[in-house]
Amino acid sequence: MMDDATTAVSLDTLARRIARYAMCDGVHQTDVPGLHLIRSAHPTQEIHTVHAPALCIVVQGAKRVVLADQVIQYDPAHHLLVSFDLPIVGQVIEAMPSRPYLCLRLDVSTDRLAQLATECLASTDKTVQRPASCPGLCLGETTAKVLGAADRLSRLVETPDDIAVLAPLYERELLYRVMRTQQGQLAVYNVLGLGRGAQVARAITWLRQNYRAPFEMKKLTEFSGLQHSALHQHFKDITRMTPLQYHKQLRLHEARRLMLFQNRTAAEAAFSVGYESPSQFSREYHRLFGQPPIRDVETLSRTFFSPDMP
């Protein structure tokens, strides 16, 4: 638990900084590469998205994330580390105008993370213990050292002339501090391919590049380098879903984006992402998002494009 005075001061400082640079609700990109400041004055509805690899540190409020059957709640005492592209459902569950939800998100390069993990292992006699499982979504303790590194990185928004030189150093320190936590070891295991993370990552890459094509397990196994049963099991260990389920979710998320932001009809979006049957598309869309395509997009449009939105 974070109960020392230094941590309390760091949380307060971070909260004031995020509030100052994220004056309205939403995700605010900063000049620091990969760093976003997030604010919400109210609890939100469930938001479906394909979350890219990232580190999310909440400094005020709380959020719930769902990945298939895995439910994770995080707050100022815990951070979320996403190691792979994962279809998730996110929802801010603790926020109010006088004390909004505030979060720092750092987009993570898995290549840089793997390089740093390799250097960390080379500098110590300790070996990475094989974990029972290697989920792609990990909840870790936000220690005082993690928070201090996050504070230094976010402070660069106030001194833009320092970003080019100091941002890579502070990002490296923050990721190092996260990897030194117990849950951070899972990320090390994944990104270094010490388990089956590397093969699953290749499978995810192939699916993201070919989601419009019909699902073919044979091609997926060839590209990943794993046999059918092994790929199925390790893929599910990391993503909490089968490769076929992941493939469907990629299609449906893209179709939703096309309808919402490019004004595509349901039929146009369905065919664009590879569906041959509009009725099958509608059934699977309803199953994932809880409403038929047209009604769902109308609901989202009122949320995203309301004149009352800040």
Q: Is the pLDDT of residue 22 over 90?
A: yes
Question: What is the pTM (predicted TM-score) of this model?
Answer: 0.86
Q: Which amino acid is at 202?
A: R
Q: Please answer whether residues 177 and 143 qualify as being in contact, where contact means their C-beta atoms are separated by less than 8 angstroms.
A: yes
Q: Please answer whether residues 203 and 235 qualify as being in contact, where contact means their C-beta atoms are separated by less than 8 angstroms.
A: yes
Question: How many C-beta atoms surround the C-beta of residue 72 within 10 A?
Answer: 17
Binning the chain into helix, strand and coil, the percentages to the nearest 5 are: 50, 20, 30
Distance CA 263, CA 286 (A): 19
Q: Is the pLDDT of residue 264 over 60?
A: yes
Q: What is the DSSP string of 239-272?
A: HSS-HHHHHHHHHHHHHHHHHHHS---HHHHHHH
Q: Please answer whether residues 62 and 73 qualify as being in contact, where contact means their C-beta atoms are separated by less than 8 angstroms.
A: yes
- In terms of Cα–Cα distance, which of 190, 144, 152 is closest to 171? 152
Lowest mean pLDDT among 67-81, 189-203, 229-243: 189-203
Q: Residue 114 has what pLDDT?
A: 72
pLDDT digits (tens, 9 = 90+) for 121-173: 666 655 555 555 557 888 888 999 999 999 999 999 999 999 999 999 999 99
pLDDT digits (tens, 9 = 90+) for 173-201: 998 888 877 776 666 666 555 556 778 88
